[in-house]
Each structure stands twice: as structure tokens, then as C-alpha cells.
Structure 1
């Protein structure tokens, strides 16, 4: 924290304020040793309809817990499960969960869609943890205003598919720039940043958030103005769903799209020149016109180039012939449609309808998975790509790599504009994923992800090696429980600076402002910046006078 002081008197004044804050935080400290799950459940039962509360003893508890779990790895008998699941239908229910939780020593985890890659929104990796889940699936309203300006209020429990569908029904000329998968919950997606096929034209989903409704750690209902500038900054990409409170709904700006867009998929095998084309893609894709997005799925010995162009095929073909002739795109590859139709087509394939994006489950929900991510700032050599294909992707237990190009609008904003810092200078994001169907395959399949990630270290971003917060990965580090505020912050930096770079410290300051005793916490939630660190900084300033 940088402190400007014109005299030793001002430093002394700041020290006094910080000491007062330390006393206040100490008086509010959360004593989990007094936790009483029975009292907590009784408190909840008295404050909300019983049909919205599912204790572990409830016959419906297993099905409610599993309802939006996307990775069955986290439904094993030895996984630490919540004491209960609360499914609020209005803000007062969420507020009551916070009040009861604070009163009886039970922390809360917040789930909006279950796509959390480590399942931290509904499970703990620490045996014996006393926590409950606030599942927002019943809060899924979407209210579109065509404007101008064109906006939408969307509840955190809605899926991206439900948001897209509502926008598409309101107007064929409006869209929202978020992720590809329609089953992702809006709350978690926005709280981590959120990017998809419109990222080069319109940037992140979180860049378009203009208001939000938050239940804080005191049970207060806050909006953009009452939560304050720093907290509003923090929830738009800083893990707001699991760190700063319960974000119930978001107001987002919608973006214009043309009446016709064009999609294509071109697959190239190694025999057809995939290595050379992929090496060329690295320099071409981030520099294409902003209307054109070309991503790559690399699996086995094939690279599939998948594109969305905001315009007609007639306008697209000259651009591809001039800028990326090696891919060989021609008219037979083009499929023209509306933007909302492209959402279904890109994710679900040919024959999918717009109504299909309302399905809240996906084909991979019953499949085990592991993923992690990287950022590339300098193109990877052709020889390295050849080795990736022959050494890694050819393995019998291999997974896949997904490459999303950056540049354009996402790079136009400074790193500090939102907590998401991966902007100017980034060529593309890499996601490494693997899938399997039984626990006996986990060592080999997850091991492939880990080993490839290790191999890639010389070829990706450094100091820190960066990662995307919405591809949560506990391999990057975990918070330290009960270790004191300073150590917790330092442990958080290990993983936090990979996700947020220099923005991590500001996030920790915002956390201290809204939740100083760290009620909303999990293995990778933002820790509050320790008051002791502020005092240390002030002492350093004092010594300079």
C-alpha cells in the first residue's frame, strides 16, 4: 500500500486509524470453535420456508447437491460436504443465511452454476469444515431493456444460455459477450471475468457490468453506490462469488451485433500441415480485425480452427484469403446465421436449436475432468508445436488444448481496469483439459495435464506464470487456514498473483473493506489484507522522515 504523508504528524494519524481498525476487526473476529450446526439449522428454519432448506438428513439433499455439479470427482463419499443447502428465492433468504451463519459459526459458500473447476462453491478439500451452500439456482430472472442504452438485469443463478436466449428474443441485433458454454452460471462467470467468441470485439463479460446487488458479510443488501468503488471494482472479475459476499444479480450492458454472422470450422491434421498452420495462427489471430475471432481446439493429431465473424461470408472470405491463406477457408466452410443461432451451433453443433441453450445440463456432466491454464505472450516455436503433437497429444491418455486468441477490445483496457489483468501483450490463452469416466483413470489422465503443464513452462508467461481465475486450479496454491492474517495474505499471493498479477493486493484491500474477518472464505478466496502489513508500511514511511 502506497502512503503519501506530508509530515510525521500525518503518519501518526494514519497509524492511530489503523490501530483502531485492528481493534475493531479483533472484536468482530469469527470464532468457528463455537460452531453449532443444529442451532444454525434451527435459525434458518425460523427465517425462511422449510422447502428452501435441505439438511444432510433430507431425502432430497443428495439430488440438490448434485443438481449442478459438473464434475463427479467432487461427489465422492470422502469429500467434505455442506451441513445444508439453502436455495433462496429472494434477497431476504440470502440475508438470513448470512445472519444465521455468523451467529452460529457456519461459513457460507455460494453456488450459481456448479462449473467451478475445483468445486469450491459446494465442497471443501478440508475434512471437518463446517459450512453451508447458498445455491442460487432459484434466482434466475433475466430482464432485458432494449434501450437505449440496451441493458439487462440478470440473476446470478441464471445460466449464460438463459441470458443469451432472453437477449436474442428481445432483439436480433443485441448480444452479450460472455462464454461459449450455455450451462455456466452467470454469477460465477462474471465474478471471474468471462470471455468467449466476442472477446476481441467487445472484451470481457465483466467489463460490461454496470451495477450489482450484493449481500455482504453483515447481511446488508448493497448496490454499486453503497458497496463502494473498490468493492464494485473487485466483484467484476475478482472472484466476487466466493470472496466478497453473495452477488444476487447484475446489471450488464448489451452490445450490438449485425443481423448475420458467419461461423466456420476447419480441421487440419498433422499430415495436412497442422503444425505450420498453428504456428502461423499465433501471430495472425491476435492481429485480425476485431470482428473476426478464430480459436483452436488441439486434440490427437488434429487442430480444429473454429471461428465467428460478425458479418457475411462474402465479407469474410477476402479477409481470410489476405490475412490467413494457409488455413484455406472457402465458401463451403461458411455457415451464415443470427448471433443467437451461432451460440447453439458453436457449442452444440449442427442441428442444435436456439431452445437447446436453455438446457441446464451438458453432455459432459457425468465425466470426470481436470484442467488448468496458461497465457502466451510470445509465439511458441514450430519445433515445440511439433513436439507437443508427437510427444504429448499422441499419448493414449492424452486430453486436449484450447487456444483462445486475445488482442482487440480485451487488450485496449489497462490491466487495472478490472481485477482481470491479462490484456495488452497477451497473444492467447491456453486451457489444458482431460476427461475420464472412472476414478481408476484419474492418476493417468490428470497426470497428463500436470506433465504437459510442466513441459510448457519455458514457453508461456513468466514472473508470474499467469492463469485464468475462471479455470480455477488448486495445483497453483491454497490459502492457509488459521495461520494469522499476514501468513494468509502471503499464502494467497502464491496463487492470487497468477490469476490477478498486481491487482491481487488491491483485491485484498477491498476484501478487508467489505469482509475484514474473512467470513466468506474457501481454499482460493481473496484473503483480507492484514492490518499488520499496513502498520509495517506506515513504519517504513515513518523512518523516512
Structure 2
């Protein structure tokens, strides 16, 4: 859990009172130096600036000579360092972007699409995890990875888990801020459905928790996207029970093996299965791979699948029984990976990518699946990843959290395409856009829903009017991510940050109620 405000913050406010006229980059750096140890600051002239900047960049297309880079990277080790950065930034008109793991699909946590002076608060060193086994809760800092959270839980108990994502290198801060979906979502909902408390540094530099922040602000940070309401330093989460053994399987089916018929059935069966069973589908080229976690034994799973989904052909040889924590490296890193491998923060800069998303509320007809596989057979094609909903996800009202994709959703789709530095990515991105257009009649409409953690700037970008983000312009993309919750998010933004200090190309605009 992030520590409380220290004496350094008092020194900072004293410094600011004497230097209120330093409204410049130099003033900002001087301000930081008065409150934060020098070794935690990396300016563009620092020998380690580039290595720190790329340390968690997931997509090398956002690390080019033309990329607008931060004036300085701050690597706080204490809450007071974050508070100091916010106060210095406000005083000197330098905005802040916040990075916890760098998995954001548009790189908005460490780069700007527009020329501006900004700093990056990199939370990687705020990464502690404290588990209370008896209470079945944990405090986790935003800079911890999901893998580190899972690992700490497993060390405390092999009968506790947390319902978050699959990729272990994803930072907790950004992941929780947008929702947090993984293989336990049908049993326990999203990560945000299991958040009990949080600590937040707001636009005034105050350190707040659930008791001291506005009710709508606590609601907003649990799914309203990162970098809009302040900087969340830590989260208190409710841990969930899992059995001693879970059963995993991964079954590929080609078109020649009946993949189209199986998918046509999967999209209706998977959301309606008992909530202990999660079966995702990944389509690449002419093969659909069905990956699953079942909270129980292989024998029980075989009986269930034989009754509810015999078309997949599950048999004893497909089953892999293991502990829940062993399932984390198995599903993401492969069957030779160890539990310790989920602690590896190393990322690759080899693959460029682009992604977007959809939600499906009515089953896609079989003849359309035939056309989908034709699209996926093209040389420049990407992949489709589909997660079934239902179960616990359907039990929450759309307004329970900002994340509105609840009852009525059969599954979500993530479309992704990849290319190397030596490849022209234009054909790959064009395929993605054209395929997204093709899918329009078969997915949710009015609005066409999207998942904010699969952020896509092609859905719309903010427009700044009079130094404040336009609410009307934000509606274009905001309703896709949040549906009817967007207005409440904007009102919460108006409560905690009416001057719109925390903003980026898709941050929540402030909507201030008239008095």
C-alpha cells in the first residue's frame, strides 16, 4: 500500500509559495528537484532516460524519432513524490501522464499525439502487494504487475485467487482502471467488481481514499479509464476462492475439422454454461483454438461438456489438471513455463500492433462465419480473440461501475494485427479497419460498444475548447466505451478535476453542474 504524505510534501508547498512565478519547464524541474530525490528523476539529458522510457513500452511504433516524448520521467517510491509532481505540474503548466505497465494499446501513458510539454509518472517502483489471507483481501500498488499480484496471493494460499487478466506483465493500475477481464470473469466478474478501496492523488495533490474522495469519484476510478481522475496509487481488492485443482484445455479446430459449426454453437453455449467454466476462442487464419479453465476436476468437466457442448470433442487427453496459479503461466506462456516466469517484467520490442474491439449481443449466423474465415484467410489478416460473458458478469447492473457491458452480452471480440519493423504495416492496419467495417451489422449497435482497455483512437479523439476537453466531442468515443455511464463519468470528472488537468486524447472531459 502506498505510504501517506511525508514531510517532503510540506517542504514542497513552502517552496512553491516562494516560487509561484516559475511557469516553465525549468521551473517544473526545479520544483521537482526540491521535493524528490534526484535519482528518481530522468530528464531527456539523463544517460538512462531512453532505457527507462522503453522499459515497459509494448508497441515499438510508439518509439520513433517523431514520437512526442516526456520532458522528464518520475519514478516515485513514496506517495509524497506523486503529490509533489502533481503540485509542481499545476504550478508550472506541465501536464502528467501515468504509466503502470505500458500495455495501453495507443501508448497514451508515455507519449502524446500532439506537441505539448508533459511528464510521465512511472509507477513501476510502487509495486508492493500485501495479502491478508484471513480476511481474503489484498492491497496492491498500481505499479505491480498482474503476475506479481497473482504470485503474492499464491504464496499466501493456494485456495485464493483474483479475477483479473491473462497477461502477467500488465500493470495493475491501468488494468483495473479500465475493467480487468480474465478467465474468472464468468465466476467472479471483472477486477473492478472486486475492488474495495483505493488511494488516489487528485489534481490538487491531495491523497484520498474511499472515505475521503467523492462517492462518484470512487465509482469512476473503477472502470472509467486511467489518467482522468487523478493517479491511483494502490487498490484494496477482495480475493476469491478457487478449488485445489482446476482443469485446463486447449483444443484447435480447423475449418476442415468443423470449426465453423463449432463456433456457431460456441457463441450461444459458452455464455450459458455454468459459471465455473470459461471457454474462450482465438481464430487465426483457418484455425479456431478453444482455451478453457474449469474450476473443478477433469472427470466433472468431461461429464458437463459431454452434455452441453459435445461438438468440441473434449476427451481425457485434452485435460490438464493443475493449481490455479499454475494455470497463469500455462495459458499465457505455454505448458513448459513455471510459476516464477510470471514475475518476469521483460517485454519485447519486436512486434508492432494495432487493435480494436466489439461486443456481440445476438449470435452471428453460420453463413457469416464462413465469410469471417474468408477474411481471416487473407495474407495480411490478423486474429480474433473472443471471451464469453454471462454468469456473474450478467448479475451487475450496467450502472454498477463505469464498465457497462453486462447482461445481454454473449461475448466480446478483440481484433488484433501484428507486423515487424521490416514490414509495411499499412496493409495490416487497412485489413483491420476493413474487417471492422464488415463486422458492423453483426455486433452491438447504437452505440457500437467497445472495451476501453482495448483502446482505439480511431473511435474518436478529444477536442480541447478553451483549455478544457469538449464533452460533446468526447461523446463520440465515450458512449462506445461507457454507454449511458459516460455522463456520470464526466460529472465525476467535474467534481475532482474541473480544470481538466489530467487529460489525454481519450480522457474523460469535465462536466460541471450549474449552480
TM-score category of the 2 structures, normalised to the smaller one: over 0.9
Q: List gaps (5 residues or longer) in structure 2.
A: 1-20
Indicate whether 1:205 and 2:188 are aligned.
no
Partner of 2:124: 137
Residues 60-139 of structure 1 mapped to structure 2, 5 A cutoff:
60-126=48-114, 128-139=115-126
Q: What does 1:36-435 align with in structure 2 at a 5 Å threshold?
A: 36-126=24-114, 128-147=115-134, 149-239=135-225, 241-362=226-347, 364-390=348-374, 392-435=375-418
Provide structure 1 residue ranges, at least 5 long, that are not aligned to the other structure. 1-32, 536-545
**Residues 55 and 273 (structure 1), Cα distance of their counterparts in 2 relative to 1, 3 Å cut:** same
**Cα deviation 1:118-152 (Å, max 9, x = unaligned):** 000100001x21110000000000000012x3000
CA contact (8 A) 1:70 1:366 kept: no
Once the two structures are superposed, residues 84-109 of structure 1 have per-residue CA deviations (whole angstroms, 9 ceiling, x without a partner) of 10000000000000010001000101
Q: Return 436-445 or 95-104, whichever deviates more.
A: 436-445
Q: Distance in 2 between matches of 1:195 and 1:315?
A: 25
On the 8 A contact 1:298/1:304 being kept in 2, the answer is: yes
Q: Indicate the residue corresponding to 1:507 in structure 2.
A: 489
Normalised to the residue count of structure 1, the TM-score between the two structures is: 0.89
Q: Do 2:495 and 2:512's aligned partners in 1 also have CA atoms closer than 8 Å?
A: no
Contact 1:117 1:370 in 2 (8 A): yes
Inter-CA distance 34–504: structure 2 relative to 1 (3 Å threshold): farther
**Counterpart secondary structure, 2:300:** helix
Matched, 1:473 2:473: no
Structure 2 vs 1, CA of residues 233 and 370 (structure 1 numbering), >3 Å: closer, same or farther? same
Aligned-pair CA distance for 1:59: 1.2
Question: Aligned pairs, how many?
Answer: 495
Task: Provide, for residues 282-337 of structure 1, a one-character-per-residue CA deviation record: whole Å limited to 9, x for no partner.
Answer: 11000000000000000010000000000000110010000000000000000000
Q: Which string of whole-angstrom CA distances, capped at 9 and with x for unpartnered residues, describes residues 56-107 of structure 1?
A: 1111111111000000010011011111100000000000000100010001
- Take 2:345 and 2:357, find their aligned partners in 1: how far apart are those partners? 25
**TM-fit CA distance, 1:397:** 1.1
Aligned residue for 1:201, secondary structure, equals: helix
Query: After TM superposition, what 4+ stretches of structure 1 lie above 3 angstroms from structure 2?
Result: 482-485
Q: Structure 1 residue 350: deviation in Å? A: 0.9
Greater shift in the superposed pair: 365-374 or 157-166: 365-374
Paired with 1:439 and 1:135, the residues of 2 have a C-alpha distance of 30
- 2-structure distance, mates of 1:388, 1:252: 39
2:6 equivalent in structure 1 = none
Residue of structure 1 in register with 2:439 after alignment:
456
Separation in 2, partners of 1:275, 1:483 = 52
Are the equivalent residues in 1 in contact too, given 2:22–2:28 (CA < 8 A)? Answer: no
Is the partner of 2:96 in helix, strand or coil?
Answer: strand
Distance 2:128 2:397 in 1: 32
Distance in structure 2 (CA, Å) of the matches to 1:424 and 1:344: 30
User: CA contact under 8 A between 2:59 and 2:351: conserved in structure 1?
Assistant: yes
Distance 1:371 1:57, change over 3 A: same
Structure 1 segment 518-537 matched on structure 2, within 5 A: 518-531=500-513, 534=514
Per-residue displacement from partner, 1:266-291 (whole Å, max 9, x unpaired)?
A: 10000000011001101100000000
